[in-house]
Chain A
Amino acid sequence: MPTYAALIYGEDADWGAPEHAGQMAEYAAFGEAAGPVITGGAALLPTSTATTIEVRGGKGGDLVTLDGPFAETKEVLGGFYLLECADLDEAISWAAQIPGAWHGRIEVRPVLAM
């Protein structure tokens, strides 16, 4: 059976904040309804927590770290990994080994703890 990623685009919000409880309840309802087909997923923290990295000069090249989300328009979202790491440094060190880091850019964003 084919697997599909459903990528959610919307407001740059802190989904853990009380004012979004209504929307989160909607998501919970969806999660229940779609339970049989969902194999994974996560809410992301707002882009103010994002770090974008790039490895210049190919694999093992110079790591460039920038505060903020990926903001170019030419490249498109091509895939993602969920990385369970001790801290941002560990996440960045793994992200820098993803081929996309030298073929494009990797945005590292923490996942909302549920």
Chain B
Amino acid sequence: MTNSNDRLGELLRVEGGRALATLTRVLGDLQLAEDAVQDAIVVALERWPRDGAPANPAGWLTVTGRNKALDRVRREGRRSEKEEAAVRETTPGEATSPSGSAVRDDLLRLIFTCCHPALGPDARVALSLRTLCGLTTEQIARAFLVPESTMAQRLVRAKKKITLAAIPYRVPADHELPDRLPAVLAVVYAVFNEGHTASSGDTLLRIDLCDESLRLARLLTEVLPDEPEVLGLLALLLLSDARRDTRVDPVGDLVLLADQDRSRWDHRQIAEGEALVEVALRRSAGDPGAYQLQAAIAACHATAPSFAATDWHQIELLYRHLERLHPSPVVSLNRAVAVAEVAGPSSALELVDALPGLDRYHLWHATRADLLRRLGRDADAAASLRAALACRPSAPERRFLERRLSAVAVATAPGSDPR
């Protein structure tokens, strides 16, 4: 019973998103379309378990939603006559069963509208989860640990801006894609990172943002199958997410990559991610984007039999590429970690010490601490760990750093037995 309810819920979320995309175009109003789909879903929840789902669920939801929108417009009676006529004139045929490519175009319109650069980054994320993933305002609020009223306000404001500022509901032209696609990919990646690093809140109640980001990334590969960066992003998410269960131990403490139980990684997901990286890199023909490079790095880690047997040369090379493409001290810090494995901790420490502006970043201090410890400079390592703790890291990271600190502190304590 629960299972079939889950399946129905899942079906309605996917097909509801498609119906919303088409209805927003047909009705010309995102809020009206959203209400209409909601109304249609209520009817579906009543009928489908009894009569079975229709052959074309999205088409059914679209037609039912359109009729519900007509009812609403009539009932409210406060829309302009022009609007009302526009809704009335949408022929059911047009909305009935849009062909595959029409649905694809409608979904693309919805994606690019929700991720329009004239909307704030938070609003883009919230709107995408609401419209493309079919999450409720309450679920999104809980996922981002903000009050529901705050999230509701954010969504209302974004939808108002879309209408009032006339943010268009259209697929950007090919020449506009390079400008517009990064904002879309950033939304998906932001959702993933939020889910990936989430350490507070009741995880049982929390919507799994990693799953939602994978859903969004898959949707993107469905509608933009030729974009290498779209494939690269999905690959990156699959490969990172494949390690999710081993990143913390049962009491919620961090487990380092070197200590993770690789047999428990999701190998089916790794295989899918690895295959996607290859396709993406082939498509980008020697000019890979940042997501592809990060995915390629994640693939190196995910397919390595052990930490020691990891292809650190390849990883270092990929970080070099990434540094050229997106120079940032954080990318360089990651490259330094690879350098430590390839050329030893002292070369890496030189690199790390030369990085500017990271003295408030706990991972910079933590990386230094690790390199110093490996060089036998335990007192310096302890100082770096204290500096890392002073940056107020998340609770699991703090516990990890404290464990490290007590280990080096023991080693440096006077009279202790040097190991």
| Chain A interface (Cβ < 8 Å from any Cβ of B) | 45, 48-51, 63, 65-68, 86-89, 92, 108-110
What B residues does A49 contact at CB under 8 A?
Answer: 160-161, 164-165
List 7 A-B pairs, minimum CB-CB distance, nearest first.
Answer: A65-B117, A87-B168, A67-B120, A51-B118, A49-B164, A87-B166, A49-B165
Contact indicator A67/B119 (Cβ below 8 Å): yes
Contact indicator A48/B166 (Cβ below 8 Å): no
Q: B118 CB to closest chain A CB, in angstroms?
A: 4
Q: A37 CB to closest chain B CB, in angstroms?
A: 30
Contact partner, B120, options A63, A68, A110, Cβ 8 Å: A68
Contact indicator A88/B118 (Cβ below 8 Å): yes
Most buried by A among B157, B161, B170: B161
Contact indicator A88/B119 (Cβ below 8 Å): no
Contact indicator A51/B120 (Cβ below 8 Å): no
Please, how many angstroms separate the alpha-carbon atoms of A109 and B165 in the complex? 7
The chain A residue sitting closest to B112, CB to CB, is A89
What A residues does B116 contact at CB under 8 A?
Answer: 88
What B residues does A68 contact at CB under 8 A?
Answer: 120
The chain A residue sitting closest to B176, CB to CB, is A89
Contact indicator A110/B165 (Cβ below 8 Å): yes
The chain B residue sitting closest to A14, CB to CB, is B164
The chain A residue sitting closest to B168, CB to CB, is A87
Taking CB atoms and an 8 Å cut-off, the chain B residues in 149-181 that contact chain A are 157, 160-161, 164-168, 170, 179
Contact indicator B157/A48 (Cβ below 8 Å): yes
B123 within 8 A of A: yes
A48-B161, A49-B165, A110-B165 known; 8 other A-B pairs, CB under 8 Å?
A67-B123, A68-B120, A87-B168, A88-B116, A89-B170, A108-B165, A109-B165, A110-B166
Q: B176 CB to closest chain A CB, in angstroms?
A: 8
Please, how many angstroms separate the alpha-carbon atoms of A50 and B167 in the complex? 11
What A residues does B168 contact at CB under 8 A?
Answer: 86-89
Most buried by A among B117, B123, B165, B168: B165
Please, how many angstroms separate the alpha-carbon atoms of A92 and B166 in the complex? 11
Please, how many angstroms separate the alpha-carbon atoms of A109 and B161 in the complex? 10
What B residues does A51 contact at CB under 8 A?
Answer: 118, 165
Given A48-B157, A48-B161, residue A88 in contact with residue B120 (CB < 8 A): no
Please, how many angstroms separate the alpha-carbon atoms of A87 and B116 in the complex? 13
Contact indicator A45/B167 (Cβ below 8 Å): no
Contact indicator A45/B119 (Cβ below 8 Å): no
What A residues does B123 contact at CB under 8 A?
Answer: 67
The chain A residue sitting closest to B118, CB to CB, is A51
Given A49-B164, A49-B165, A87-B166, residue A92 in contact with residue B157 (CB < 8 A): no
What B residues does A86 contact at CB under 8 A?
Answer: 166, 168
What B residues does A50 contact at CB under 8 A?
Answer: 165
Contact indicator A65/B118 (Cβ below 8 Å): yes
What B residues does A45 contact at CB under 8 A?
Answer: 164-165
Q: Mark B101-129, 1 if CB is under 8 A from A, else 0.
A: 00000000000000011111001000000
What B residues does A108 contact at CB under 8 A?
Answer: 165
Q: A114 CB to closest chain B CB, in angstroms?
A: 14
Contact indicator A92/B118 (Cβ below 8 Å): yes
Please, how many angstroms separate the alpha-carbon atoms of A92 and B168 in the complex? 12
Please, how many angstroms separate the alpha-carbon atoms of A110 and B170 in the complex? 19
Given A68-B120, A88-B118, A92-B118, residue A63 in contact with residue B179 (CB < 8 A): yes
Please, how many angstroms separate the alpha-carbon atoms of A68 and B118 in the complex? 8
Please, how many angstroms separate the alpha-carbon atoms of A57 and B42 in the complex? 52
Q: B82 CB to closest chain A CB, in angstroms?
A: 12
Please, how many angstroms separate the alpha-carbon atoms of A77 and B286 in the complex? 47
Please, how many angstroms separate the alpha-carbon atoms of A49 and B158 in the complex? 9
Q: A53 CB to closest chain B CB, in angstroms?
A: 9
Most buried by B among A49, A67, A109, A110: A67
Please, how many angstroms separate the alpha-carbon atoms of A49 and B123 in the complex? 13
Q: Mark B219-241, 1 if CB is under 8 A from A, else 0.
A: 00000000000000000000000
Q: A96 CB to closest chain B CB, in angstroms?
A: 11
Contact indicator A88/B179 (Cβ below 8 Å): no
Given A48-B157, A63-B179, residue A110 in contact with residue B119 (CB < 8 A): no
Contact indicator A110/B118 (Cβ below 8 Å): no
